[in-house]
Amino acid sequence: MSLTEINFDGIVGPSHNYAGLSFGNLAAMRNMGASSRPRAAALQGLDKMRANLALGLTQGLFVPQPRPARGWLAELGVEAEQADTALLANAMSASSMWAANAATVSPGPDTADGRTHLTVANLKSMPHRSHEWPATLAQLRLAFADDRYFRIHAPVPSAFGDEGAANHMRLTERHGAPGLELFVYGVSGGAFPARQHLEASRAVARLHGLDPERTLFVEQSEEAIAAGAFHNDVVAVANERVLFAHEQAFADRDGLLDQLNTRFPAFEYVEVAAADVGLDDAIRSYLFNAQLVTPPDGQPTLIIPEEARETTSVWNWLQRHLAGNGAIRRVEVVNVRESMANGGGPACLRLRVVADPAAIDPRFLVDEPKLDRLSSVISRTWPEEIAPADLGSPQLLAQVEQARAALLDTLDLSQLL
């Protein structure tokens, strides 16, 4: 097998809106009630995938989930057309576009049976996300159906909150080699909830058959969660030997570095000091909610949102670091403003899977011609704008369902209807 890193991006769904449902996600709370632009959001996501392809990266996708979530509403004894505004907002959320929360992934070199393991996140902390996992599970079972190479796990019990790869990192000499897996959990976030439970992380590690000597459980700092880092990937990101983090990301920074030096001495730690970039700037700009990747040319590259370039303290730090020829050699800027306004940056939009592309259902992999076809469908069918008053409109509900059906038909994935 030829193992490589594949970034699976979630396509922004046609119901993308700003209902402000995610308590603790400052961008989502700040933009609550604004008008969204689903068509622009989805096209921005496709452009990000194109940029990854241009770097030489392998790119995949996940499709939007059914919206409104009629099955979930039926369990609550109501139809979408009769649901009250708050309940309907939870059923119309397009938040499954943030594929980093789809699952936690352990590549074959790390697992006891040599298969890549994926455990679907239960996302039980937020009502609008708690109903995502069945549709996520269906997609993962289809995309990674070859059980010679993959094992898909249902969510851990909902008593323990699990938010997926957004709270998981991996350090390794190279993607196809054994790695050290870091599970980041929260205990407290002051006024905001800590969403990742330690017991959920431990359960995932056991289910994946990870070696305890190559597995770390790391507490996220209360200060970071309270500042709006509702997931670890808002204050830290790792790729191969590099861990890139804010000084205040972890509850016991020094203890973590000691453990990393003992268990993986080859790692490189790149830290942004709070004196250079405060937590507020780091979180507002999503400096760390970036894709840290190694393209075929071998130049470690940080893919950041435009908001990071527009934040003076962040951009100044990046320019100083790049001038020093450090562990990050290149910065690429992408426009994902519609996603950012709802609290998700470049890293939120993708689930990183190390696997052989030949073992994956090709309908979930993309090239430029496929992206062109998707762009055409989205330009024709996605709503141009959704205002708060539109959310319960029967016309919008019908358009959202028809748009998703057209996309699935284009991908030959109508079985996911």
Active site residues: 163, 231, 348
Residues 294 and 126: their CA atoms lie apart, in Å, by 33
Identify the CA nearest to 58 among candidates 295, 232, 217.
295
User: Do 193 and 231 meet the contact criterion of CB atoms below 8 Å apart?
Assistant: no
155 is written with which tokens? 């969510």
Using alpha carbons, select from 306, 165, 163, 281 the residue that is nearest to residue 227. 281
Q: Where are the beta strands (DSSP E) in 294-406?
A: 301-305, 330-334, 350-355
CA distance 49 to 58: 9
From residue 185, give the alpha-carbon distance in Å to each of 37, 140, 204, 216.
33, 24, 12, 11
Backbone conformation region of residue 358, classed left if phi is above 0, alpha if psi is from -120 to 50, else beta:
alpha
